[in-house]
Structure formats: structure tokens, C-alpha cells
Amino acid sequence: MIDDAIRVLAGDCTVITDGTDREEYRGRVTTIVKPDNTVLVHDVDGYQPVAWLTRADAISSDRADGFTLVATKDTQTLRIAAHEQDGFAHYPSSAAGTPVGTCPACDGALVRSSGVHCVGCGDRYGVPSDATIRDERCDCDCGLPKMRVERGLAFTVCLDRDCESLDDAVREAFDREWACPESGCDGDLRVLRRGGLIAGCEHYPDCDTGFAIPAGIVDGECACGLPTFETPNGTRCLDATCERVIEGSIGAAGDD
């Protein structure tokens, strides 16, 4: 498991990189080890590190005699040996994102970056990429902000799917709403989660017809009989490969 902390070593160090070529540096540098095991060694000049190793497979350290840190990845090795240590520390870290509210659990800042998470306690909530986080709070005891997501209709639900399920809201609105377009099939399309939200034939696996439900609002019917959606990229059929939409362009499905 990745430790959500940034480790920092500062001091007079010898830095050795060994892989295709061997290089050696010495100076007062600051070494940063990120939670994903990326190691960056910075000196006083420029923005680019003196040495680095991206997402090392293994990192070991030895404080018995000074301080030595060794990072390895495949055939590459990065070794930092401190002759004089100015400091060594672990600092809590998190992804940085756009503030979207206050965490009801700890009063920390809720920020949006690949979902929504709390800078204070670390609580995380999965959020579709096209969702809009609103100022209003959930009516339940959780106290979290609500989000607006378009999946056929505009749904406003809690950030916490365990509190208020987007899947359930879409299912209530559109489950069995459309017939399967496969020739000879008498099934209806069920709203299911298969990675994202899909409208899939109820006769699966005998009929494997299924369509990702796009980010948009149902605004009519395609010539093929399936619904059309008004999306940020124009009007499209539920079937993204259908070419019989009267106007607009084929847009990409939303990330649920």
C-alpha cells in the first residue's frame, strides 16, 4: 500500500545514478520521496532535479551510519548518501484540487481532483468527470455537498453513493424504458453498472446488446428507435455507432 506521506532528506550528500551510465554528484541537496516512490533530488539551480527515479520498484534506507537511501527500478539505481544531514522528516500529503466545500466529518477542506477527497481526514468519494459539485448539502445526516450529473435526465444526488445512489436514480427513470434493438429480440434494456452505467439487454448472455449511457439529456428518438441525447458534443443516439441521428455529432460517453 502506498503511504500518503512525502519524505524529505536534506544535507550534504553524494548522489549516484547507475543504469545505462553511471553519474556521481555531491552537494547540499534536498531529496523528495513521493508516495508513489518517485525520488527527486534538487539542488540550488534550475527547476529540473539533479537526479530522479520515477516510481521506483523498491526503496530502502539505512540510518546506522549517517543516512543512505537507495531506490531501484529494473536496472536503474539511485543512491543518496548523506555526509552531513540537515534534516529528515515525513510530511502528510494529499492530491491538490479545487475546493468544493467542507468535510462534515472533520471540518477539513473538500477538494476535487480525480474525485473528491478531504485534505484533513482523507475521506474519498468517486465523482463522474462531468459532474458539477453544488453548494447545497445532502438532506441526510451525512452533510456532504450534492452533485449534478446528466444521465438521460439531470440528477442531483449526494457525493456519497452509499448515501444516495446515482445508479438507483437512473435505474428508476430509465430501467426497461427502451426495447432492445437487436433483430428478433423481445427484451427490454435494463440499467446496469458494468464499469460505467449501461443500458443492456435483459436477455444477456443470450443477447449481449448494451450501450454506455452518455452524459446528456434525452431529447427525442433516433430513426433506429433508440433515444437521442443532447450532449456537450451535440445530439447523438444511445448507440454511439448509429449514423441515423438527424443532426449533431457523436459524443463520448460520460465517466461514471
Report if residue 255 sits inside a domain: no
Q: Please indicate, yes or no, if residue 208 is contained in any of the structural domains.
A: yes
- Do residues 15 and 85 share a domain? yes
Residues 52 and 31 in one domain: yes
At residue 114, the pLDDT reads 86
Residue 108 lies in a domain: yes
b vs e for 132-167, b when ≥16 Cβ sit within 10 Å of the residue's Cβ?
ebeeebbeeebebbbbebbbbeebebbbbeebbebe
State which of 128, 145, 164 marks the end of a domain. 164
In a domain, 40, yes or no: yes
Q: What is the CATH number of the domain that holds 26?
A: 2.70.180.20
Residue 42 lies in a domain: yes
What letter would DSSP give residue 85? E
**Alpha carbon of 100 to those of 85, 112, 121, 132: distances in Å?**
40, 7, 15, 10
Q: Which residue has cell 435505474?
A: 171
Backbone CA torsion sign across 80, 82, 86, 89:
positive
Asked whether residue 160 falls in the same domain as residue 117, the answer is yes
One domain, residues 102 and 88: no
Instruction: Name the maximum alpha-carbon separation found in the chain.
Output: 78
**Domain boundary residue among 142, 164, 186?**
164
Q: Which domain holds residue 151?
A: 98-164
DSSP state of 108: P
Q: Are residues 103 and 81 in the same domain?
A: no
Model pLDDT, residue 140: 83
pLDDT < 70: residue spans in the chain: 1-3, 65, 245-256
Q: Supply the pLDDT for residue 16.
A: 96
Task: Report yes or no on 246 lying in a domain.
Answer: no
24 and 60 fall within a common domain: yes
Residues 9-46: tens digit of each pLDDT:
999 999 999 988 999 999 999 999 999 999 999 999 98
Say yes or no: 57 and 43 in one domain: yes
Q: Residue 6 and residue 10: Cα distance in Å, rounded?
A: 13
**pLDDT tens, 113-136?**
989 999 988 899 999 999 999 998
Provide the whole-model pTM.
Answer: 0.72
Q: Using alpha carbons only, what angle is made at residue 113 by residues 141 and 58, rounded to the nearest 5 degrees?
A: 115
Q: Show which of 43, 72, 92 is a domain's final residue.
A: 92
CA angle 12, 13, 18 (to 5 degrees): 165
Residue 242 counted as domain residue: no
Element (H, E) at 236: strand 234-237
Same domain as 153, residue 220 = no
Do residues 17 and 87 share a domain?
yes
Say if residue 63 is in the same domain as residue 135: no
Assess whether 156 and 214 both reside in one domain: no
- 3-class SS of residue 169: helix
CB-based burial, 79-95: b 16+ in 10 Å, e otherwise: bbbbeeeeebeeeeebe
150 with 221, same domain: the answer is no
Q: How many folded domains does the chain comprise?
A: 3
